Amino acid sequence: MKRIYLDHAATTPTDPEVVKAMLPYFADAFGNPSSVYSYGQEAKGAVEQARASVAELIGARSEEIVFTSGGTEADNFALKGVAFANEDKGKHIITTAIEHHAVLEVCKFLEKRGFRISYLPVDKYGLVDPDGVKKAITAKTVLISVIHASNEVGTIEPIEEIGRIAEEAGICFHSDAVQTVGHVPVDVNELGVNLLSISAHKLYGPKGVGAL
């Protein structure tokens, strides 16, 4: 019996074209990209080309892209990085009750270190109310983190509206867009986010590769 895979929302198979593009870097172009000789410079060129491609995909600049081992690490970098860098300004973070566990677990970690987390509810459709986000903001709020689309039911959140609220309040805004990048148009400038997490395995890329 032939098996049919129907869970592309969880992970996707690596596209044959992606495998083909990657193969030379397993066999021939294996140099350390930090080295100065030809093998390393060839690898460095490939990394920078990949960085430019990711930036173009989400409307960012190449120098803004930080590669990670996946969406979970990208979320960790975003939340912990902003939280600890702004401890002197405040220790309050706003998020939603339906975030991916990669975000929720970091929030639990931060709570143990003295941060206060506001977990906003959603309606029956899985939507968070932007007005609820605005009302939750305090003088101590240093970060807002709202998932772009629910990994459970697929609801796309009103990120642009929340982005405007965050910008007006001068608060850093992060969104986990692992479920959406590569499937719907995503532009960091249009969304109004400061930080965006993505992962290759959700869009026919290899496992263990993500970006912030």
- The confidence score (pLDDT) of residue 45 equals 94
Percent of the chain with pLDDT over 70: 100
State the pLDDT at residue 30.
87
- Strand order of the sheet with strand 67-68? 67-68, 210-211, 195-199, 172-176, 141-145, 92-96, 116-120
What number is the average pLDDT over the span 144-153? 96
Mean pLDDT of 96-122: 98
**Residues in Cβ contact with 59 at an 8 Å cutoff, skipping those fewer than 6 apart:** 186, 187, 188, 189, 190
Distance CA 210, CA 70 (A): 4
pLDDT of 108 > 90? The answer is yes
Q: What is the mean pLDDT of the chain?
A: 96
User: What global pTM score does this model have?
Assistant: 0.94
pLDDT at 68: 98
- For residue 13, what are the contacts with CB-CB under 8 A and spacing of at least 6? 5, 204
Q: How confident is the model at residue 117 (pLDDT cuts 50, 70, 90)?
A: very high
Query: Which CATH architecture group holds 66-211?
Result: 3-Layer(aba) Sandwich (3.40)
Query: How high is the pLDDT of residue 29?
Result: 85
Q: What is the DSSP letter of 89?
A: T
Give residue 193's pLDDT.
99
28 — pLDDT class (breaks 50, 70, 90): confident
User: What does the pLDDT look like over 154-190, one tens digit per residue?
Assistant: 999 999 999 999 999 999 999 999 999 999 999 999 9
Cα(211)–Cα(54) distance, integer angstroms: 8
Mean pLDDT over residues 20-49, rounded? 91
Taking the domains of the chain in order of start, what are their residue ranges?
16-62, 66-211
